[in-house]
Structure 1
Amino acid sequence: MEKTRVIIDTDPGQDDAVAILLALASPEIEVLALTVVAGNVPLAHTVRNAQKICELAGRPDLPIYAGCDAPLFRPLTTAEYVHGETGLDGIELPAPTMPLAQGHAVDFIIDTLRREPEGSITLVPIGPLTNIAAAFQRAPDIIPRVRQIVLMGGAYFEVGNVTPAAEFNIYVDPEAAQIVFDAGVDLVVMPLDVTHRALTSQDWLDRMAAIDTPVARAVVSWTGFFERYDRAKYGAEGAPLHDPCTIAWLIRPGLFSGRRINVEIETEGRYTLGMTVADWWGVTDRAPNALFMRDVDRAGFFDLLTERLARL
């Protein structure tokens, strides 16, 4: 079996944590490193959370690189109101002891893409796109070397979750998103339209609780904390597991459906800053630049999560 070799760019985040655990539990995927960015909470917290997740998974050997602590041109917007003060509120995990890798995340992305065979590395950004855009700006020669980018961000039919028009990851650094969407890389996008269909349920939480491992207990606790926000805001039955959709697509793309369309990023709008302007109906002559997902097989998605997370 040929493994998909990935760099996960992340701002953990409870749903980031589940995505990372899913990747580490899946033999189809080889995680080369985590590159960490500020987003859900400031960088000091996201880095510490990445360390905790790796130690929980029994992977203190996995390199973790600290990256950008603010968007390219804007002050940082964070989401403690969703994820809690630490970004990983819920179960109390031990203080991490594993060291960070030496060097900056952006340098690691550049060096890895230059060193490894062309088309062998997939980037999986599940936070703001600052690290990826900074790498592309600094070293445009790496852009054609990327196999694919599979990201969580944006929305069309669901519109926004941080403003009426914008999804959080794109809103935090819209200029970075514009650079990535304009780069010409094979791009797969998991927007809110998909992730709001990947809702947890009490049945799934009961299945996870029955596994009764440290990983399963952490996932149940994180999800329970995360759920409170979406239940209050949307009246939803559970929490949307946004970021794990990227990893699930790499493992079983048949769980998802969407279209290749043009997606532009709004960087100037008074009310629409950070909006992903998705030409779903083909009303412009702009060339498609992304496979923009619309739906997910929810039962299949949660079956995959359960089966894989039980391995850790």
Structure 2
Amino acid sequence: MRKFIIDTDTASDDVIAIITALREPSIEVLALTVVAGNVGLEQSIQNALTAIKVADTYQPAVYGGMSKPLFRNLFTAADVHGEDGLGNMFLPKSNIPIESEHAMDALIRLIEEHPYEIELITLGPLTNIAMAALKAPETMNKLKSITLMAGTGLGPGNTTETAEFNVYVDAEALSIVLGLDVPKLFVGWDVIEKRAFITEDDLAYLENSDSPIAKFAVRCTKSLHDFCKGLGLNGFELADPTAMICAIWPEVMTNCIEAHATVETKKEENYGQIFLDQESATPNSTTCIDLDGELLKTYLFNTLLMKENK
């Protein structure tokens, strides 16, 4: 069985991604490590616990991590996901316990316990991962792989013209993670925007189903839906579930490129921009630049409708 650790700044799309992993029988989620990003750390922890409850499978350990970026003030996305990150549902506080160990230390310990077995899936800013890499670089190099919902791929950003949200929150953290000698897969905003758009018809299909998980997915993304309506869109992109599905079912990816990735951390005008050099440097990452959107939705909807993916 494959072993995952999911690092998350848990808002609505993170929750759907976590549910997808927890409901996949071939995956064992060893832990959720939580970081501030979409919302503050405490709310992000509560939303991670909500994901576990809604998935209704098993309870991986949950570890709280970094409450702010390495060098900058925290930049959140409450305007996109709601004040609580879940469409302003304001759910009661969960009674699922969290671990006292810091996420950074939990990452290091679990990787040492399972060397070269753990696939790390990052759904938020890379602050927890960078801190672990600074503290124990040799251990972090024992990861099997890292799949990152981060960057813009070959397109523009969603937070600035050049930067995607997770990278913009803490580009210095990504710069540190890029130094790890571990296979890294970027699933960026360009392919998400192009292939992972959830339409009004999709939402009606889920809402009219008999699945409480599907109905929850529609409800928790209400603020995201409303935000995108304000931009003139009839639906919204689901970023984190796309990265998760690429990690679980790589056959959805139809085109990837290898490149040496670097990130801008000095110039404010393009802070967080990722540069992909395919010619003059040794590749340190793979970037998905296209995928099968229909297959992606099939996997996602089967999960939310509690059907078996084959």
TM over 0.5: yes
Contiguous gaps of at least 5 residues in structure 2: none
**TM-fit CA distance, 1:38:** 0.2
**TM-fit CA distance, 1:74:** 1.4
**TM-fit CA distance, 1:90:** 4.7
Q: Is the 8 A contact 2:224 2:236 kept in 1?
A: yes
- Is 1:165 the counterpart of 2:133 in the alignment? no
Task: Give 1:276's match in structure 2, choosing from 265, 268, 274.
Answer: 274
Q: Is the 8 A contact 1:9 1:124 kept in 2?
A: yes
**TM-fit CA distance, 1:59:** 4.7
Kindly report the root-mean-square deviation, in angstroms, between the aligned alpha carbons of the 2 structures. 1.6
Give 3-state SS (helix, strand or coil) of 1:137's partner. helix
Counterparts of 1:143 and 1:94, CA distance in 2: 36
Give 3-state SS (helix, strand or coil) of 1:82's partner. helix
Q: Is the 8 A contact 1:177 1:265 kept in 2?
A: yes
Q: Can you list the C-alpha shifts for 1:94-138, whole angstroms capped at 9, x where unaligned?
A: 43111111211111000011111x210011010000001100100
Give 3-state SS (helix, strand or coil) of 1:271's partner. helix
Please, which moves more after superposition, 224-233 or 67-76? 224-233
Q: Is the 8 A contact 2:151 2:273 kept in 1?
A: yes
**TM-fit CA distance, 1:309:** 1.9
Tell me the residue number matched to 1:225. Answer: 223
Counterparts of 2:68 and 2:88, CA distance in 1: 25
Counterparts of 1:121 and 1:294, CA distance in 2: 24
Q: Is the 8 A contact 1:204 1:302 kept in 2?
A: no
Task: Give 2:283's match in structure 1, choosing from 285, 288, 297.
Answer: 288
Counterparts of 2:228 and 2:281, CA distance in 1: 35
Counterparts of 1:105-124 in structure 2 under 5 Å? 105-116=103-114, 118-124=115-121
Opposite residue 143 of structure 2, the aligned amino acid is V
Opposite residue 252 of structure 1, the aligned amino acid is W
- Is 1:305 the counterpart of 2:300 in the alignment? yes
Give 3-state SS (helix, strand or coil) of 1:98's partner. coil
Tell me the residue number matched to 1:21. Answer: 19
Task: Give 2:241's match in structure 1, choosing from 238, 241, 244.
Answer: 244
Counterparts of 1:89-238 in structure 2 under 5 Å? 89-91=87-89, 93-116=91-114, 118-197=115-194, 198-233=196-231, 235-238=232-235
Counterparts of 1:93 and 1:302, CA distance in 2: 27
Tell me the residue number matched to 1:264. Answer: 262
Counterparts of 2:268 and 2:148, CA distance in 1: 25
Counterparts of 1:224 and 1:84, CA distance in 2: 8
Q: Is the 8 A contact 1:199 1:237 kept in 2?
A: no
**TM-fit CA distance, 1:52:** 1.4
Give 3-state SS (helix, strand or coil) of 2:289's partner. strand
Paired positions, count: 305
Counterparts of 2:298 and 2:89, CA distance in 1: 23
Q: Is the 8 A contact 1:52 1:94 kept in 2?
A: no
Counterparts of 2:71 and 2:224, CA distance in 1: 29
Q: Can you list the C-alpha shifts for 1:178-222, whole angstroms capped at 9, x where unaligned?
A: 011121210000000111120001222122123333211110112
Contiguous gaps of at least 5 residues in structure 1: none
Q: Can you list the C-alpha shifts for 1:114-169, whole angstroms capped at 9, x where unaligned?
A: 111x2100110100000011001001121321000001010143211111111110
Q: Is the 8 A contact 2:12 2:85 kept in 1?
A: yes
Please, which moves more after superposition, 84-93 or 121-130? 84-93
Give 3-state SS (helix, strand or coil) of 1:262's partner. strand
Opposite residue 140 of structure 1, the aligned amino acid is P
Q: Is the 8 A contact 2:78 2:85 kept in 1?
A: yes
Counterparts of 1:92 and 1:219, CA distance in 2: 15
**TM-fit CA distance, 1:69:** 0.4
Please, which moves more after superposition, 263-272 or 220-229? 220-229
Structure 1 residue runs of 4 or more that deviate by more than 6 Å after TM superposition: none
Distance 1:95 1:213, change over 3 A: farther
Counterparts of 1:22-61 in structure 2 under 5 Å? 22-59=20-57, 61=59
Give 3-state SS (helix, strand or coil) of 1:141's partner. helix
